């Protein structure tokens, strides 16, 4: 460690020298945000030519498939590597067991196919979980107040294969059931989708920062109880490492930590310990907090958003799923 060497001290050492000008600060920078670090989430609804604002997420909309295709095209033109598609399912199609999730040509399949066809260069990532499809808003099958693990995994495997078959590139199980990564990997392989990647929501916390997302999906008012029996307790960090270790051993290609900024310690530990491609999800609540502070002129837009994202890079993220992706990509292209 050079820091405690008595020969290296003030006034010989002046830390401000390297900070004295913009070119020098750029030269010594340890981390940089690149457009290739970004994944843009997009909410899809039925119909055509429809854009519906999400009131709890100013600036973010639900779009019909044709408009999602336009958005994906824009993202691709900007250099964003991938989009994450989230279907907003009509309430009439929601059921106790979420069976719409495994119907051929459901909304997510239509969206995947259209984006793949019109924008073949962009990666498509999709959640595997039942919450967009269940009448109770849970990620799994609910029976007598219990979320059934193994029965849920059965249907998730079918959902994963259906989405891979439609053209999804990255299957992202976000349900937090036990053993699902191994079983999803087996199902994909069994159906000939050996090359479909898996990004596991490995350390996903039972967080209050998902509220605006649930609102976007129309599942917020319907959620019975909470998700604490499957999502992680915010008090724990060693448990997150255990979750990540299991998912890697079961075949995850990439690992995600979620939410983002409140869990940077987890991200840092995971990246340092496992050295696998690791992603952070800057979730809806984080987005809405920042956007509202910006709207109220409490924070400067460009700099505060950039600072929130570079924090993920510093902590070791290979990439960030963020609702700011489109906007930041535009900013970066102007530099
Ligand atoms: C569904 C899912 C959630 C998010 C991504 N996938 C919500 C939840 O688990 O309740 C949250 C994303 C966000 O808040 O931006 N399993």
Model pLDDT for residues 107-126, shown as the tens digit of each residue: 999 999 999 999 999 999 99
> What are the residue boundaries of the structural domains of the chain, listed by start?
33-333
Confidence of residue 170 (pLDDT cuts 50, 70, 90): very high
To test ligand 1's pocket by mutation, which of 87, 101, 129, 177 has the most ligand atoms within 8 angstroms of CB?
129
What pLDDT, on a 0 to 100 scale, did the predictor assign at position 8? 83
pLDDT score, position 3? 64
- How many A from CA of 210 to the centre of ligand 1? 6
pLDDT digits (tens, 9 = 90+) for 253-263: 999 999 999 99
Element (H, E) at 190: helix 180-190
Q: Which atom of ligand 1 is nearest to the CA of 210?
A: 14
Handedness of CA 228, 234, 236, 240 (dihedral sign): positive
Average pLDDT, integer, range 28-33: 98
Question: In angstroms, what CA-CA distances link 34 with 59, 142, 169, 202?
Answer: 22, 42, 21, 24
Instruction: State which H helix or E strand residue 203 sits in.
Output: strand 197-204
**283 C-beta closer than 6 A to ligand 1:** yes
pLDDT band at 221 (very low <50, low <70, confident <90, very high): confident
Question: What radius of gyration, in Å, describes the C-alpha atoms of the chain?
Answer: 21
The chain-wide mean pLDDT, for the chain, equals 96
Superfamily of domain 33-333: Aldolase class I (3.20.20.70)
Give the contacts of 102 (CB within 8 A, at least 6 positions apart). 155, 158, 159, 162
Residue 287 alpha carbon, nearest atom of ligand 1: 15
Is pLDDT at 317 greater than 80 in this prediction?
yes
Regarding predicted confidence, which is higher, 35 or 334?
Answer: 35
**pLDDT surpassing 70 at residue 2:** no
Q: Which residues are catalytic?
A: 204, 258
Measured in angstroms, how far is the CA atom of residue 326 from the centroid of ligand 1?
Answer: 19
278-288 average pLDDT score: 98
């Amino acid at each position: 460690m050079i820091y405690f060497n008595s020969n290296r001290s003030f006034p010989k050492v002046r830390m401000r020298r390297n900070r004295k000008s913009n070119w020098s600060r750029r030269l010594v920078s340890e981390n940089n945000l690149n457009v290739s670090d970004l994944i843009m989430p997009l909410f899809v609804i039925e119909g055509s030519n429809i854009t519906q604002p999400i009131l709890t997420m100013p600036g973010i909309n639900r779009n019909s498939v044709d408009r999602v295709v336009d958005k994906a095209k824009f993202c691709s033109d900007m250099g964003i590597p991938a989009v994450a598609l989230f279907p907003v399912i009509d309430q009439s199609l929601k059921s106790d067991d979420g069976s719409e999730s495994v119907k051929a040509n459901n909304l997510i399949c239509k969206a995947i196919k259209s984006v793949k066809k019109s924008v073949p260069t962009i990666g498509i990532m999709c959640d595997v979980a039942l919450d967009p499809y269940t009448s109770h808003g849970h990620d799994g099958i609910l029976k007598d107040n219990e979320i059934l693990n193994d029965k849920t995994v059965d249907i998730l495997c079918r959902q994963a294969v259906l989405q891979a078959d439609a053209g999804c590139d990255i299957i992202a199980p976000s349900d937090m059931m036990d053993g699902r990564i191994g079983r999803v990997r087996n199902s994909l392989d069994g159906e000939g989708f050996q090359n479909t990647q898996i990004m596991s929501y490995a350390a996903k916390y039972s967080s209050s920062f998902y509220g605006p997302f649930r609102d976007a999906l129309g599942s917020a008012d319907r959620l019975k109880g909470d998700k604490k029996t499957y999502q992680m307790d915010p008090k724990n960090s060693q448990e997150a490492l255990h979750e990540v270790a299991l998912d890697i051993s079961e075949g995850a290609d990439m690992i995600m930590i979620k939410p983002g900024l409140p869990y940077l310690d987890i991200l840092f530990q995971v990246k340092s310990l496992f050295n696998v491609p690791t992603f952070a999800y800057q979730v809806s609540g984080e987005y809405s907090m920042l956007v509202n502070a910006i709207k109220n002129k409490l924070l400067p837009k460009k700099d505060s958003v950039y600072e929130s994202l570079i924090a993920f890079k510093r902590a070791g993220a290979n990439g960030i799923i963020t609702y700011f992706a489109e906007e930041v990509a535009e900013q970066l292209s102007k530099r």
